[in-house]
Structure 1
Amino acid sequence: MDANKELIEALNQIEKEKDISKEVLLEAMENSLVAACKNHFGKADNIKVNINRVTGAVSVFAERQIVQNVVDKVTEISVEEAILKFPLNNVGDIVQVEVTPANFGRIAAQKAKQVVVQKIREEERKVLYNQYYGKEKDIVTGIVQRYVGNNISVNLGKVDAILADNEQVKGERFKPTDRIKLYVIEVKDTTKGPRITVSRTHPELVKRLFEAEVTEIRDGIVEIKSIAREAGSRTKMAVYTSHPDIDPVGACVGMNGARVNAIVNELRGEKIDIINWSDDPKVLIENALSPAKVVSVEADAEEKSAKVVVPDYQLSLAIGKEGQNARLAARLTGYKIDIKSESQTKDTSEAEEIHDLEEVQEVQEIPDVLDFSEVEEE
C-alpha cells in the first residue's frame, strides 16, 4: 500500500476511534498545503490543493487567466499553451492548471502529520465541549479523584471538573472513587478543553434529582413550582398538578417514601419538605410553614407580606431552628412572613385597646381653658 493510500486508511481509523470527521481533517490538510505552496511559488492566492478522498493522491492547481502576452507566469497562461491543455477556451477565461511540484509528496506527508496531530487535539476539544455543553443546567454523575486544596477534582468520564469550595455542602466529605451527583452550572470552551463548573449546593440539583427519580415530574404530569434550599440542612419544594386523580406530594414521596429517601440519601441526609402549591397566597403560606400548624394568615399581595398567627406551642416549630423554617417558607412563597403566637397577638390587641382607652380618657379630662365666673364679677 502506497503512502497516500495509507493516509486515507489512517484518517478512516481516526474518524472511527475518535469521532473526528475525515473530511474536516482533509480540508485542514489542504489549507495547510496551500500555505506551504507560497514558499514554492512565491504566492498562493491562486493556488488550490486537492487530496483525492479515495486514493489520497495530492494535486496542486493554479488558477490562471488566458492572455495574449504573459506578464506573470504564476497567474497567467498564453493562448498557445492553453489551446494545447484545454479544448475550449477564450482570452480572459480562467483555467485550472496542474502545477504539482516534483517533491510535493514529501512536503505533503510532513504537513499531513502536523495538521492531523493539531486537528485531532482541536476536534477532540470541540467534541468534548459539545458533549458537556449539552449537559449544562443538568445533573451528571462524577467519580471523586482527589482534593486539590479545598477544591475537589471530579472525573465526569472524558473530562475532569472542579467542585469549588463555595459549591460544596458544608460537612460533606468524600473519598476517592466515591460516586456523586453534581449540577452543571456552566461549560466554557478553553484552549485546554472544556472548563466545567459544578455544584452540590445549587437548588436546581434537588429539582433535577426529583425529575430523574419521579416519573410524573419527568413526564410533565407533576410540576415543581418553587424550590428553596439551604444546602446540607433543609429543602422546601412546592409541587402542583392539574390532574384531579394524582396527589403531587404523594408522587414525589413514593411508596413508603422510597423516592424521596433515594434523594435524601444522595444529598447525605438533607431534609426535604414537599408541599402542595396553591395560587391562593394564604393557602400557600400555610402549606409552606409545614410541619407547623397555622391559625390564620393575612396576606398582602401588593406588598408581598403576610402576618401569620400560630398556636403558642407551635411558634418555635413555625420559626424553626435559627429561623430556618420561616426563612425557607419566605423564599419558597416570595412573601415576607411575620409569625406571631396567639398569646402575642392577644397581648398586642389588648395593649392597643388600652392605648385607645387612655387616649379617650385624656380627651375627657382636659380642664376648661376659660373661667367665665371672673368675667361675670367684673
Structure 2
Amino acid sequence: MISKDFFRALELLAEDKGISKEKILDVMGRGILNAYKKDHAISDNARIEFNTVKNEIILFAEYVVVETVENPGEVALEVARKRRKTIKIGDTIIIKESPKEFGRIAVSSAKQILTQGLKQLEREKAYDDFKERENEMITTEIVSFNRDFVTLDLGHNMETSLPRKELLKSDEIYEGSRLRVYITKVDMTTKGPKVFVSRTDRNLVKRLIEQVCPEIQDGTVEIMGISRDPGDRCKISVLSHDENVDPIGAVVGYKGTRIKEVLEALQGEKIDVFEFDTNPTNLVLNALAPAKVVAVNPNKKKHEALCIVNDKDLTSAIGVKGQNAKLASQAIGWKIEIMSVSVAKEQGIRYRRIEKD
C-alpha cells in the first residue's frame, strides 16, 4: 500500500513529539499486525515493512497450502494456485496483504494500539529528558496550589506536585509565579515519569552559584562544601586553583552583583561565602566567621576542633539556636565545639591565642 500522506504525517508527528520515526513505525507496525490478527485469527505468520523511500507499507503473510482450510495460517490449494500454478499441498506461500482490506473492528484496534503506543513513547521520552537533568536545576511555573501542595509546570507537558514543606517560607505562591527548583530524583511509574523537585535542597544553592560564576564553570574556582538552613542562612566554602583569582570575589561579583542574583532566586536567604584552607585552624576560623575566635585546638585525625571565644562573644559565635556553629561544622565536615574563655580556664584547657595581623 502506497501512502504519501501517511509518511508525510509521520515526519510531522516525529518532529512535533521529538520521537524518532523508527520508534513510531514500530508502534504502527504492532498496530497493523494486531489488526491483521483480528481479521485472520493469527499474526505469527505475518511481518510488516515500511519503505520510507517509496512511501510504501507492505504486509507479508506466510500460509501453508492445504486441501481444506481448517486452521488460521492455512490457504486452500485452489486459492494458492491462482498465485502460483505449480504449488502443491504442504508448500508455503507468501501473500502480500493490504491494510486497506481490514475490517472496521480491526482498524479500530490498530488505532487504539497506536494511541497507547504513542502515549507510552511520549512518557519514555519525557522520562529520558528529565533523567538526564536529575541533580540539576530547572525553572518552573506554578499552575495551581492548595494548603499542602503546589503544582508546577515542568515543561514537556509535565507537571509535578511539590509539598509546601519543600518550599521556602519567603516564596511567593500564586498562579504564574516562577520558581527555580532542584531535581532530586526521576522515577518511571505505571502512570508515567514522576519528577521529584525541591527548593530546600542545599544543591539548589550550588547550582545557582555555578550559573552566575564563570570561574566555577571553567574549574578555576571550586565549591568545597555547602551547608544550609533553607530560607534563612547558607554557608559555602570555596577554593581557587589560580593564585591570581580571589574565590570569594569570584562568587560575590563586582559590588555583589553575582551573589545578589542568587539571593533574589532564594527570596532573600542569607549566604556566607568563605575561603577553604588546608590549614585546619584557618579553615575553622573561616567557617565560623564573622564570629570572633580567640583560639582553635584542632584534632586532625578525628576532624574535631575546640574553639575558644571571649565570654561576651559566645552567643554570637554559636548563633541563634546554634545555627552558626552547626552550619560551619556541616560546611567543612568537622565537629566544632565552642567554649568561652572562662569555662576553658575552669577546666584547665590549654590553648594558644591566635595572633592578629
Q: Which category describes the TM-score, using the shorter chain as reference length? A: 0.7 to 0.9
Provide the C-alpha distance between the structure 2 equivalents of 1:298 and 1:76, rounded to a whole number of angstroms. 93
Please say which of residues 290-299 and 25-34 is displaced more in the overlay: 25-34
Counterpart residue number, 1:21: 20
Counterpart residue number, 1:236: 235
Counterpart residue number, 1:217: 216
Counterpart residue number, 1:359: none
Q: Any idea what the Cα deviations from partners look like across 1:138-161, whole Å, max 9, x if unmatched?
A: 111111222133211121223222
- The answer to whether structure 1 residue 146 and structure 2 residue 144 are counterparts is yes
Counterpart residue number, 2:261: 262
Provide the C-alpha distance between the structure 1 equivalents of 2:32 and 2:228, rounded to a whole number of angstroms. 58
Q: Any idea what the Cα deviations from partners look like across 1:63-91, whole Å, max 9, x if unmatched?
A: 35799xx998936998xx79x7499x9x9
Letter in 2 for 1:308: C
Provide the C-alpha distance between the structure 2 equivalents of 1:49 and 1:3, rounded to a whole number of angstroms. 13
Please say which of residues 277-286 and 35-44 is displaced more in the overlay: 35-44
After superposition, the Cα gap between the structure-2 partners of 1:201 and 1:86, relative to the gap in structure 1 and judged at 3 Å, is farther
Shift of residue 109, structure 1, vs aligned partner? 4.8
Shift of residue 255, structure 1, vs aligned partner? 0.5
After superposition, the Cα gap between the structure-2 partners of 1:291 and 1:92, relative to the gap in structure 1 and judged at 3 Å, is farther
Provide the C-alpha distance between the structure 1 equivalents of 2:70 and 2:171, rounded to a whole number of angstroms. 78
Shift of residue 205, structure 1, vs aligned partner? 0.5
Letter in 1 for 2:132: G
Counterpart residue number, 2:353: none
Q: Any idea what the Cα deviations from partners look like across 1:292-324, whole Å, max 9, x if unmatched?
A: 122211111233321111233322221111211
After superposition, the Cα gap between the structure-2 partners of 1:73 and 1:293, relative to the gap in structure 1 and judged at 3 Å, is closer
Q: Secondary structure at the match of 1:223?
A: strand
Provide the C-alpha distance between the structure 1 equivalents of 2:331 and 2:187, rounded to a whole number of angstroms. 31
Q: Secondary structure at the match of 2:281?
A: helix
Structure 1 segment 72-221 matched on structure 2, within 5 A: 74=73, 85=84, 96-100=94-98, 103-104=101-102, 109-157=107-155, 158-221=157-220
Letter in 1 for 2:314: L
How many aligned residue pairs are there?
347
- Larger relative contact order, structure 1 or 2 (CA cutoff 8 Å, min sep 6): 2
Provide the C-alpha distance between the structure 1 equivalents of 2:263 and 2:98, rounded to a whole number of angstroms. 69
Counterpart residue number, 2:328: 329
Letter in 1 for 2:334: Y
After superposition, the Cα gap between the structure-2 partners of 1:39 and 1:108, relative to the gap in structure 1 and judged at 3 Å, is closer
Shift of residue 17, structure 1, vs aligned partner? 2.2
Q: Secondary structure at the match of 2:264?
A: helix
Structure 1 segment 309-320 matched on structure 2, within 5 A: 309-320=308-319
Q: Secondary structure at the match of 2:263?
A: helix
Provide the C-alpha distance between the structure 2 equivalents of 1:305 and 1:236, rounded to a whole number of angstroms. 18
Counterpart residue number, 2:354: none
Provide the C-alpha distance between the structure 2 equivalents of 1:305 and 1:73, rounded to a whole number of angstroms. 79
Provide the C-alpha distance between the structure 1 equivalents of 2:39 and 2:271, rounded to a whole number of angstroms. 72
Provide the C-alpha distance between the structure 1 equivalents of 2:72 and 2:110, rounded to a whole number of angstroms. 28
- The answer to whether structure 1 residue 31 and structure 2 residue 20 are counterparts is no
After superposition, the Cα gap between the structure-2 partners of 1:174 and 1:42, relative to the gap in structure 1 and judged at 3 Å, is closer
Question: Which consecutive unaligned segments of at least 5 residues does structure 1 have?
Answer: 351-378
Provide the C-alpha distance between the structure 2 equivalents of 1:118 and 1:237, rounded to a whole number of angstroms. 48
After superposition, the Cα gap between the structure-2 partners of 1:304 and 1:97, relative to the gap in structure 1 and judged at 3 Å, is same
Provide the C-alpha distance between the structure 2 equivalents of 1:17 and 1:337, rounded to a whole number of angstroms. 56
Counterpart residue number, 2:225: 226
CA contact (8 A) 2:64 2:73 kept: no
Structure 1 segment 248-287 matched on structure 2, within 5 A: 248-287=247-286
Q: So what's the TM-score if we normalise by structure 1? A: 0.80
Question: Which consecutive unaligned segments of at least 5 residues does structure 2 have?
Answer: 350-357
Provide the C-alpha distance between the structure 2 equivalents of 1:270 and 1:296, rounded to a whole number of angstroms. 30
Letter in 2 for 1:276: E
Provide the C-alpha distance between the structure 1 equivalents of 2:217 and 2:263, rounded to a whole number of angstroms. 19
Shift of residue 113, structure 1, vs aligned partner? 3.1
Q: So what's the TM-score if we normalise by structure 2? A: 0.84
Q: Any idea what the Cα deviations from partners look like across 1:262-294, whole Å, max 9, x if unmatched?
A: 111211111111111122222211111100122
CA contact (8 A) 1:29 1:111 kept: no
Provide the C-alpha distance between the structure 1 equivalents of 2:72 and 2:342, rounded to a whole number of angstroms. 104
Give 1 or 2 for the bigger CA radius of gyration.
1
Write 1 or 2 for the structure with the bigger share of helix.
1
Q: Any idea what the Cα deviations from partners look like across 1:216-241, whole Å, max 9, x if unmatched?
A: 01111111010010011110110112
Counterpart residue number, 1:61: 60
CA contact (8 A) 2:233 2:269 kept: yes
Provide the C-alpha distance between the structure 2 equivalents of 1:94 and 1:9, rounded to a whole number of angstroms. 36
Provide the C-alpha distance between the structure 1 equivalents of 2:53 and 2:265, rounded to a whole number of angstroms. 53
Provide the C-alpha distance between the structure 1 equivalents of 2:100 and 2:254, rounded to a whole number of angstroms. 78
Counterpart residue number, 1:354: none
Identity across the alignment (%): 35
